[in-house]
Amino acid sequence: MTAELHEELTDPHADQLDHGAASSRPLKSRISEPQPRGAKIHGNRPVDQSEAANRFMAATEHEAMHDARLWDLRQKRDKEMHGIEEWEELRNLASGIKEHTLSKLDYYLELFEKNATANGIKVHWAKDGAENNAIVLEILRSRGVERLIKSKSMLTEECGFREFMAENNVEVIETDLGERIQQLDDEAPSHVVVPAVHKLRTDVASVFAKTIGSDPDNADAHYLTECQREATRPLILSAQAGMTGGNFVVAETGTFVVCTNEGNADLSANTPPLHIASIGIEKLIPGLDDLAVFIRLLSRSALGSPITQYTSHFRGPRKGSEMHVVLVDNGRSARLGMEKFWPGLKCIRCGACMNTCPVFRRSGGLSYGATYAGPIGLIIDPTFNVHKYRNLPYSSTMNGSCTNVCPVKINIHEQIADWRRTLAGEGEISPVKKVMMKAAGEVLASPVVYRASLPLGRSALRHLPHFMLYNKLNTWGRKRDIPETPKQTFNEWYRKNRKQQDEGKKS
Amino acid sequence: MKVGLFVPCYVDMFHPETGIATLELLERFGVSVEYPVDQTCCGQPMTNTGCEREAARTEELFVRNFEKYDYIVTPSGSCTNQVRNNMTAIEQSDAVKHVRSRTYELVEFLHDVLKVDAFPWAEFPHRVALHNNCNTLRNLRIASMTERREEPFSKPKALLKMVKGIEFADLTRPDECCGFGGTFSVFEEGVSAKMGQDKVTDQLKSGAEYVTSSDSSCMMHQEGCARRMGANLKYIHIAQILNGARA
């Protein structure tokens, strides 16, 4: 579809099958590779992203598919960007609108509450995930709801919403296909936009075979989707309440907007007589003109499509039904007060930073062991738990691609560096890093010590500077050859060949 | 114009020929170059790991070594980025500010300061893939990046185009990070090596004989991966090509 819109752009990947054709093609390998699972969580212990990433990469078919699929999204995004002359101006505008709104957040929140209430929406306030869950449960209980259909929402992931509802005997059915796959597999979403992107079709076939009784040997995407539709539609039609998140909350009109490609939010919102939307307070924007800027950026950045299939505006309850909005803080106010890290609140959850991140593409989103994975996760997760997520800011080469695809211009790679500084300053740094850097700092501060430390002409393993080698295992040499050491350093060459000239110049 | 030559630690140790080519190349343009022999490092390993305090004395030493020069030139964009944008562990005295604003990566210096328009001695009749270090690309803005909608430009390519006989090999992911990332290469060894292997595979597919870059650090990592993979690729610093290296 995008190709039709921008014919002047040549497609460098014309030989690549489109989604529909590719998803029915038999997979290359007959033997299905088991799906690698995410990070191992041990209570509050710091998550070891690299360990999980190594397991993900060891599943070579998964890693190759994941990298190719997300890189394809990045390329589609680039193509859309080139179709919009004022792209960089739009990014500036979007960033400015978010900064403005965040700087007057209290005003816009109250304005929304006033206008939404006038529209017939019941507005609630939740300071954290637990309060959100309690408010929603209270609404459901008082109306005797036993089954809730729900569209994908990262906020509810933050709140542990599904687990909470399960404990309280409310059945939750996810209506987004990817999210439903993840729910049936008892896994968190691995990506904010494409939650099951780390799974091969064979993985989905095996999940569906176990949970909804599909043919375990049939991994055709159309077949699998149809099986899911057949299994879920009756549940959707009989649910007593629907839940959505919200992509944008418009203060001046007292409305909110949900963007999906499957229309599942509309199913969740419009089928039952009760619609509850839990939305983070950073989703506020002033007016509908502002919304236009974001709608142009969101899907282009996320999936490389000009717009989401459904952009639904919710204005108030239908006749004979109810609409509730829960405005959730859950750490956002505190983040707004963080000098270095407040710009993370501009995020519109498009996932472009994940698609472009070379580390994310090779690690899988579940390797981060946190609600938010990838570059945006590295700078948001430590605000929830600084100790548990202290290693995440190191899961980056700080290459800066994320910052430059971000439609709201969050300085992600700079914040990653700032987090490292903050964590080291607070003592939240692994002992091995700390010891190595202290040693490196000592050696490099003194030319004499430094020159004496250069292990020239010794065994191959000693040819690396100490700060790279001071590790129980010489990680450099596992998959890389160690550079050959020349006969002399540049310093030695210079002293031998040029130093006298310098002295001569001075006299 | 008095230029202080900064030869980063890994160039000093593993690629002295890059330091020599940088020095000779600058001298070809009549620049008076000195190499302060007491230099060590720019402080990047510590700063990148977040250990600012541990970087302070190395930064002080850097400023002491280079404050007397009009310009500081180095064959490394990532070290330039450290000095120019991240040397914040020490008090920002006039000397520190001078050093930070006067430090240039070699390609920038040739392109923007000396405004070089010919390398009559240079000839490199080979198929070459260009690699831009991420700091050099996105922080120093040595070339346009595919993430942004902007007019294409490339300072290293503009210089290389003046070299007789050179042919360029195009990569499918020209801006993709190769996975070196400084201390990332040892702390996150698995992902780092995988990214390096993917970069080498892309370079091989492009039909390149040589890979060149204005950063030895990325190439040290890529070369390490290429050798282990048995890939037939040669890595050469841009300073050597511009200084007239034949092969």
Using DSSP's 3-state secondary structure scheme, residue B170 falls into coil
Assigned token pair, B37 = 């022999």
Contact state of A421 with B45 under an 8 Å Cβ cutoff: no
Give the model's pLDDT for residue B184: 92
Any A CB within 8 A of B24 CB: no
**Residue length, chain A?**
507
A50 to chain B, minimum CA–CA distance in Å?
A: 6
Assigned token pair, A414 = 């700079």
User: Does B233 reside within a domain?
Assistant: yes
Tell me, yes or no, whether B103 and B134 share the same domain: no
User: Does B164 reside within a domain?
Assistant: yes
Contact state of A88 with B148 under an 8 Å Cβ cutoff: yes
Burial of A443 (0-12, 13-18, 19+ CB in 10 A): buried
Domain span at B48: 2-113
Q: How many CA atoms lie within 13 A of B247 on its CB side?
A: 6
Kindly give, in sequence order, each residue whose CB lies less than 8 Å from that of residue A180, ignoring residues fewer than 6 positions away. Answer: A173, A174, A228, A232
Final residue belonging to a domain, choices B89, B113, B137: B113
Residues 144-173 of chain B with CB under 8 A from chain A are 145-150, 173
User: Does B28 reside within a domain?
Assistant: yes
Residue B136 belongs to domain with CATH number: 3.40.50
CATH for A84-330 (3.30.450.190, 3.40.50.10420, 1.10.10.10, 3.30.428.10): 3.40.50.10420
**Sequential pLDDT tens for chain B (247 residues):** 899 999 999 899 889 999 999 999 999 999 999 999 999 999 999 999 999 999 999 999 999 999 999 999 999 999 999 999 999 999 999 999 999 999 999 999 999 999 999 999 999 999 999 999 999 999 999 999 999 999 999 999 999 999 999 999 999 999 999 999 988 998 899 999 999 999 999 999 999 999 999 999 999 999 999 999 999 999 999 999 999 998 7
Q: Of A87, A362, A400, which has the smallest distance from its Cβ to B194's Cβ?
A: A362
CA gap B35, B25 in Å, rounded: 14
- Using CA atoms, how far residue B19 sits from A72, A112, B10, B116, in Å, is 40, 62, 11, 19
Tell me, yes or no, whether B104 and B160 share the same domain: no
Give the model's pLDDT for residue A109: 98
Assigned token pair, A228 = 């899911």
Burial of A492 (0-12, 13-18, 19+ CB in 10 A): middle
Using DSSP's 3-state secondary structure scheme, residue B181 falls into coil
Which residues in chain A come in under a pLDDT of 70?
1-31, 455-474, 500-507
CA gap B207, B233 in Å, rounded: 9
Are the C-beta atoms of A205 and A199 separated by less than 8 Å?
no
Kindly give, in sequence order, each residue whose CB lies less than 8 Å from that of residue A194, ignoring residues fewer than 6 positions away. Answer: A69, A73, A178, A351
Name the residue among A401, A407, A354, A408 with its Cα closest to residue A376. Answer: A354
Task: Give residue for tokens 């004395």.
Answer: B57
Tell me, yes or no, whether B163 and B199 share the same domain: yes
Q: How many CB atoms lie within 10 A of CB B187?
A: 21
Neighboring chain A residues of B228 at a CB cutoff of 8 Å: 479-481
Tell me, yes or no, whether B161 and B226 share the same domain: yes
User: Strand order of the sheet with strand B32-34?
Assistant: B32-34, B2-5, B71-74, B103-105
User: Does B68 reside within a domain?
Assistant: yes
Using DSSP's 3-state secondary structure scheme, residue A284 falls into strand
Domain ranges of chain A: 84-330, 431-506
Give the model's pLDDT for residue A481: 83
Q: Of A405, A419, A502, which has the smallest distance from its Cβ to B147's Cβ?
A: A405
Are the C-beta atoms of A173 and A238 separated by less than 8 Å?
no
Tell me, yes or no, whether B87 and B171 share the same domain: no
Give the model's pLDDT for residue A328: 98
CA gap A296, A307 in Å, rounded: 7
Assigned token pair, B160 = 């290389």
Kindly give, in sequence order, each residue whose CB lies less than 8 Å from that of residue A483, ignoring residues fewer than 6 positions away. Answer: A463, B14, B15, B220, B223, B224
Give the model's pLDDT for residue A187: 96
Burial of A160 (0-12, 13-18, 19+ CB in 10 A): middle
Using DSSP's 3-state secondary structure scheme, residue A209 falls into helix
User: How much is the ipTM here?
Assistant: 0.96
A61 to chain B, minimum CA–CA distance in Å?
A: 14
Contact state of A480 with B221 under an 8 Å Cβ cutoff: yes
Contact state of B149 with A87 under an 8 Å Cβ cutoff: yes
> Dihedral angle at the C-alpha atoms of A450, A452, A457, A460, nearest 10 degrees?
-50
User: Does B221 reside within a domain?
Assistant: yes
For chains A and B, CB pairs below 8 A equal 234
Assigned token pair, A352 = 């472009």
Q: Of A359, A456, A493, which has the smallest distance from its Cβ to B20's Cβ?
A: A493
Q: Are strands A255-260 and A248-250 parallel, antiparallel or unpaired?
A: antiparallel
Contact state of A362 with B173 under an 8 Å Cβ cutoff: no
Which helix (H) or strand (E) covers residue A324, if one does? strand A322-328
Give the model's pLDDT for residue A455: 60
Using DSSP's 3-state secondary structure scheme, residue A188 falls into coil
Tell me, yes or no, whether B16 and B100 share the same domain: yes
Neighboring chain A residues of B149 at a CB cutoff of 8 Å: 81-82, 84-85, 87-88
Give the model's pLDDT for residue B97: 98
Are the C-beta atoms of A222 and A272 separated by less than 8 Å?
no
User: Does B194 reside within a domain?
Assistant: yes
B47 to chain A, minimum CA–CA distance in Å?
A: 8
Contact state of B51 with A468 under an 8 Å Cβ cutoff: no
Which helix (H) or strand (E) covers residue B14, if one does? helix B9-14
Give the model's pLDDT for residue A186: 96
Any A CB within 8 A of B57 CB: yes
Neighboring chain B residues of A493 at a CB cutoff of 8 Å: 16, 19-20
Any A CB within 8 A of B81 CB: no
Any A CB within 8 A of B201 CB: no
Instruction: Give me the number of domains chain B comprises.
Output: 2
Are the C-beta atoms of B212 and B236 separated by less than 8 Å?
yes
User: Does B196 reside within a domain?
Assistant: yes
CA gap B130, B118 in Å, rounded: 19
Using DSSP's 3-state secondary structure scheme, residue B213 falls into strand
Q: Which residue of A has its CA nearest to B41?
A: A444
Phi–psi pair at B5, nearest 5 degrees? -90, 125
DSSP letters of B76-96? -HHHHHHHHHH--SS---HHH
Contact state of A493 with B19 under an 8 Å Cβ cutoff: yes
Tell me, yes or no, whether B10 and B67 share the same domain: yes
User: Does B55 reside within a domain?
Assistant: yes
Any A CB within 8 A of B27 CB: no
Neighboring chain A residues of B191 at a CB cutoff of 8 Å: 50, 53-54, 57, 359, 362-363, 395
